[in-house]
Structure 1
Amino acid sequence: MILHCVFIRFRQDVTASEKEAIYAGIAALKDVIGGIVDVKGGPNVSPEGLDSGYADGFAVTFEDASARDAYLDHPDHRAVGEKIVAAAAGGQSGILVFDMKV
């Protein structure tokens, strides 16, 4: 399995309801893209203070790398991704993606 982690520095003016709409859009991808096992998202709750400004994020678990790759190329993923980039501070520079085998 692949755990696809995305951490976001949202712009200051992005509201909680806008964030929730983005998370809902990501979760909805599970119903349209095969190979997604689980989707979780929300604000960082770590007390360590080591988030480097990435105060929100989500994780998508895929059956395997090919499922992840199909997700990356899927037009519905691209549409949600555009919303994330638009809401992130500095666009793509406000997003950190980290994938690992689990």
Structure 2
Amino acid sequence: MILHCVFLRLKAAMTAEEKQTLFESVVALKQVIPGIIDIQHGPNVSPEGLHGGFVDGFAVTFESPEARDAYLVHPEHVTVGQRIVESVDGGLGGLLVFDLNI
């Protein structure tokens, strides 16, 4: 399995409703892209203060590396990914992606 973690530096002007809508679009990918086991999202709750400005994020659990790879090029993911990039500070610099074998 793969745990695909995406950490975001969302624009300060985003409202709570806009954030919720954005994360709902990520969660909806589970219904259209095969191989997704689970999707979780939320704010960073670590007390360490080492978030580097990445205070929101989500994690997608895939059944295999192949399922993750198919997700990356899936048209629905591409569309949601574009919305995410438009919602973060600094374009791609406002994203941190980290995948783990689990």
TM-score clears 0.5: yes
Q: What is the deviation of 1:22?
A: 1.0
Which letter maps to 2:59? A
Q: What is the deviation of 1:78?
A: 0.5
Task: Please give the residue correspondences for 1:11-90 in structure 2 after superposition, counting only pairs within 5 Å.
Answer: 11-90=11-90
CA deviation string 1:52-90 (max 9, x = no partner): 000000000000000000000000001110010000000
Range 60-69 or range 11-20, more displaced: 11-20
Q: Distance in 1 between matches of 2:38 and 2:21?
A: 18
Aligned to 1:97: 97
Once superposed, which parts of structure 1, at least 4 consecutive aligned residues long, lie more than 4 Å away? none
Considering only aligned residues, what root-mean-square deviation do their CA atoms show, in Å? 0.5
Percent of residue pairs identical: 57
Aligned residue-pair number: 102
Q: Distance in 2 between matches of 1:56 and 1:101?
A: 22
Unaligned stretches of 5+ residues in structure 1: none
Q: Distance in 2 between matches of 1:17 and 1:92?
A: 22
TM-score norm. by structure 2 comes to 0.98
Q: Distance in 2 between matches of 1:87 and 1:14?
A: 8
Q: Distance in 2 between matches of 1:14 and 1:85?
A: 13
